[in-house]
Structure 1
């Protein structure tokens, strides 16, 4: 979260509640991965809350490195894999599944690269204005293409899904990503993850639409016929 420790912890609590509610909406194991998105964002927001505390209170400075790495691990390693994977698990059409696998592979490649850089190069977090800036001394030669691959893995899969309302999630993620690049470039990791965590509320409503569609379809296949005796 890009404002304060209280805001991060508050968002973490709200997202945890939404995550639990989303998981309760699941009817199949394949839906579970998608339903956990708000819950994972919750953990990430709690991690950044501890980053805030470590940066504003010298007594908790020992928390800075572990909380920074935990936050970046979710932002740069988990999401480019989890987003295409969880959406792929919802897909029932084999041709579409193969297409999702392509973006999952892209996500795995960028996640592996970012994870390697994270443990191979210096990583720092600091407060600039009202935001947390994560400084990563990664090779500049791959920075531009890395952002493109990350965007492909996290933005395109929702548009490929046949699930009702999933396109809304795709548009929201894409819009927040573009706005963050243009207006918060120095804080892109923190600010975009904040926007994306709020957007993940849509996960609950998408699962609700899946549930309603499934119940409606089952009712169509197995209508209950009431016979009234006169």
Structure 2
């Protein structure tokens, strides 16, 4: 995260434990995409920890570019695709699937554009005001609409999912975005990813809930049968 290498690695270690616990709860193949969210946040936090080291010690300087691109690739390219896709894979209701497919299309637009920018333009991580700021020389073509489309792609699926309590995850992440944008306007990518990674602990409980729902459904079928 944007406060220190210790905080980033500490968050990464916690998320690694959550990742293992979440993946162990996977009951069906379609759940693995959503269950992988804590694991990818774990990788992201470790990458930012390496960025901290590379910016504060010449020993780790050769890792700076690689770690920066890993962090931004996950933050800007993976999440707009993975979140809508993972929830689409879980969805059972046809009317919700239609909405999620539309959001996935928006996510693809955002992801492909940011992937193009990440490849084509210079990016740099710097410590500014005791925080990590990512300087990206991207052309402003979407303007503020780009931020809106990103939010729709990453938070929207949780609000239109029929899965019980999924909307809570979306609301909490959205509130964390508002807090980040207000208090850390120059470090939104870093700080919001930290908040979202910690919030992703709820992914474990949602996967566990799905497992419990499947068990209850099987019991009802056995009783009725």
Common fold, TM-score beyond 0.5?
yes
Structure 2 stretches of 5 or more lacking a match? none
Which segment drifts farther, 211-220 or 29-38? 211-220
Task: Please list every run of at least 4 consecutive aligned residues from structure 1 whose deviation after the TM superposition is greater than 4 angstroms.
Answer: none
Cα distance in 2, alignment partners of residues 141 and 23 from structure 1: 39
SS at match of 2:127: strand
Cα distance in 2, alignment partners of residues 111 and 85 from structure 1: 12
Cα distance in 1, alignment partners of residues 223 and 129 from structure 2: 61
Distance change >3 Å, CA 224–CA 94, structure 1 → 2: closer
1:46-89: per-residue Cα shift (whole Å, max 9, x none)? 11111000001012111111110110000000000001111111
Structure 1 stretches of 5 or more lacking a match? 226-230
Partner residue of 1:185? 185
Q: Where do residues 1-230 of structure 1 align in structure 2 (5 Å cutoff)?
A: 1-223=1-223
Which segment drifts farther, 192-201 or 214-223? 214-223
Equivalent residues, number: 225
Q: Per-residue deviation at 1:110?
A: 0.4
SS at match of 2:223: coil
Q: Per-residue deviation at 1:142?
A: 2.0
Instruction: State the superposition RMSD in angstroms.
Output: 1.3
TM-score normalised by structure 2 residue count: 0.96
SS at match of 1:115: helix
Cα distance in 2, alignment partners of residues 21 and 144 from structure 1: 38
Cα distance in 1, alignment partners of residues 21 and 178 from structure 2: 29
Cα distance in 2, alignment partners of residues 219 and 137 from structure 1: 56
Q: Which protein has the larger Cα radius of gyration, Structure 1 or Structure 2?
A: 1
Cα distance in 1, alignment partners of residues 143 and 180 from structure 2: 16
SS at match of 1:222: helix
Q: Per-residue deviation at 1:223?
A: 2.5
Q: Per-residue deviation at 1:224?
A: 9.5
